[in-house]
Structure formats: C-alpha cells, structure tokens
Amino acid sequence: MPRRRQAVTIKHVAADAGVSLQSVSRVINQQPNVREELRDRVQASIDKLGYVPSIAAQRMSGSRSYLILAINDRERTIADWRARQGSDWVDQMLLGGMLKCAELGYRLIFELVDTHNDHVERELQAAIAALQPDGVILTPPHSDNPLITDLLRDQSIPFVQIGSRGEGGGIPIIMGDHGAARMATRYLIDLGHERIGFIAGSPEYRLSTWRTKGWHEEMASEGLPVEGLLAEGDFTLEAGRAAARELLSRTSRPTAILASSDQMAIGAIETVREQGLEVPRDLSVVSFDNTPITRSTRPTVTAVDQPIAETTSRAVELLVAAKRGEEIPEGPINIPVGFIVRESTAAPPPD
C-alpha cells in the first residue's frame, strides 16, 4: 500500500526555518515589525515544503480569527428552501462572500438567525462566542434590528448592514433600490404606459419603502396618477397573486405592474392568466431581483438585476479593511443595479 503523504504543518515550517512557531505565525499573518531576514527565511521554508496556512495557524497571533460571519433570516430562508421556489439570494450571497474571503485568506461562515425571536441576542451571542468572527454581514431585516446592531457595536465587532443607511452604527451598503425603482418605472413610461401599478414588499424591510418611494417619484415627475395603483405585499408568490387581483379589480386598471420581488411578479402573471388576459399583450410586468425563475417562466420576466454577489464581496472587503484598521468610506456605499429586458414587457394595449 502506498504511504499517505504527511500534511505539512506550521511545526514543519518552524523546524525547517529554525525559528519558533510564533515567528512563523507572525510572518503568515503579515504582522508589522518582522525583520526582513526572518520573513525571507520563513517564506523560503513555506515555498520549499509547499505549506498552505490553516486558519488555526493564522489565529495563533490572537488578533484575528480569519472568519467572517454572515447571517440571514431563518424563517424566510427555510421557507424558500422547502418550497424550492427558485430564489437564489443565499446562493449569490455565498458566491460573492466565499470567493472574496478565499481571495483574502478568510473563511465565510453562514448562520440563520430568527430576527423575530425574543432570544435573538442569545442566538447571536452564542455564534460569536463560538466563532469569534473578525466581522459580521447583516442582511435584511437583521440589518436594522437594534438588538443585533447594539450587540455587535457593544462588542466592537465590525459589521456591514446590507440594505440599510447605517443607523445601527455599522458599515452601510445599499443596492440602489430607490434609483432602481425609478429606472424600472421610467422604462415602462417610455414604453407608453401611464397607469403603472406597484406591488410593495414587506414593510419590515427598509428597502421596500425606498422602492415604493422611487416608483412614486418617477410617476410624479411625469404628472401620472398613483392613486389606486399601490398594493401591499410581502415578497411571496401568494402576495403577488392577491395584489394583482386587487389592482386588476380597479375601475381603471393598470396597463403595467412593477413588483418588488420575482415571486410576486410570477404571482401577478398567474393572476393575469386566470382572468383571461395575456402578458405582455394586456399587461406588462417588471420584477426585482432577477433570480433564475425570471428566465424559466413564460413569458420570461423583465427584471431589475440585484447585484447580491457583488454586494457581499464588497462587504467582505470592507470588514477585512476595518479589521486591519484601514479607513472606511463614509456614508452608504451604493452598488449599482442592472436591468434585464425580457418578454414580459411591451407597449400598452390600444384604448
């Protein structure tokens, strides 16, 4: 039987270089005030032995854990997974975060936390105690939960608030929700639509307010009516169905609908069909997020493309920079959105 190759450890590097474990750790962690001769000697041994630093070795210095903790809403995430509805928020979040962490020598740990739980502080405290992360990524609605942000701030743990203006004291990153809603509304106006309905998202997400405001402002800029064209939703398929039924029951129904999530847009399209109408012949539909379902449904859905992977990648960069004591940009950092035109939009039907 061939012998398995023994894994090279920090002890092998230290022995080969003739230095202490602490000296190797200081070189691995790129700490200041390390003599150039020592750095060169340790690096030569690392290259010769093919050593790949482990998190355990990097953590020997005690100043960094090389772990970033990303938390997402438990209830909504589990519901989406069980329903297998095609939402890829978590996939994109992990893609952007994990790739950037790997690039910077970090690891991303993903946790689900129930923001509505009375014990949310205890849940998060347990995760922090076990992992000792160098930074935390908060996604909505966690981003603006004061129980969470106060805990992280009190423990001096850098954190990013995605979809937030940063009132909790973290590093705010937004994905241009206000401007994206204006852009999508403008696109429909330019197609000739004057009665554009809007299906809002869950009110516990601040981005829902920003999107509603963007739609309202773009309509107002053209002197177009909004009364009777706003329906409430919660990002789910059933909410989209119900909101579309409400909007289409109005005396002067819309010729287009902008929905605050892909799931609600699909729900709206299903309601349109139930009423004997066709998309986009009788009603155009635009959605937010651009998850895979927008490309697999018929018709394919015109969508605001949310840069989730880019956002979490930037979040990791900012947390690592904060841990290193580097200067962080002031104010919310805006990650530009995209806009994908597909089959669900067209000019309004003739009167």
Which domains can be identified in the chain, with CATH numbers?
A: 10-61 (1.10.260.40), 67-175+307-336 (3.40.50.2300), 177-305 (3.40.50.2300)
> What's the pLDDT tens digit per position in 16-63?
999 988 888 778 766 667 888 888 898 898 888 887 766 555 555 556
pLDDT at position 1 is: 45
Mean pLDDT in residue range 206-221: 96
Say what the alpha-carbon torsion angle 204, 209, 211, 214 is, to the nearest 10 degrees.
180
Mean pLDDT in residue range 127-144: 90
Q: How confident is the model at residue 3 (pLDDT cuts 50, 70, 90)?
A: very low
Vertex 206 angle, CA 300 and 204, to 5°: 95
Distance CA 171, CA 17 (A): 41
pTM over 0.85: no
The secondary element (H helix, E strand) that includes residue 303 is strand 302-305
pLDDT at position 69 is: 95
pLDDT at position 21 is: 82
Q: How confident is the model at residue 198 (pLDDT cuts 50, 70, 90)?
A: very high
Query: Which amino acid appears at position 186 of this protein?
Result: R
pLDDT above 90 coverage of the chain, percent:
59
Whole-number average pLDDT of the chain: 89
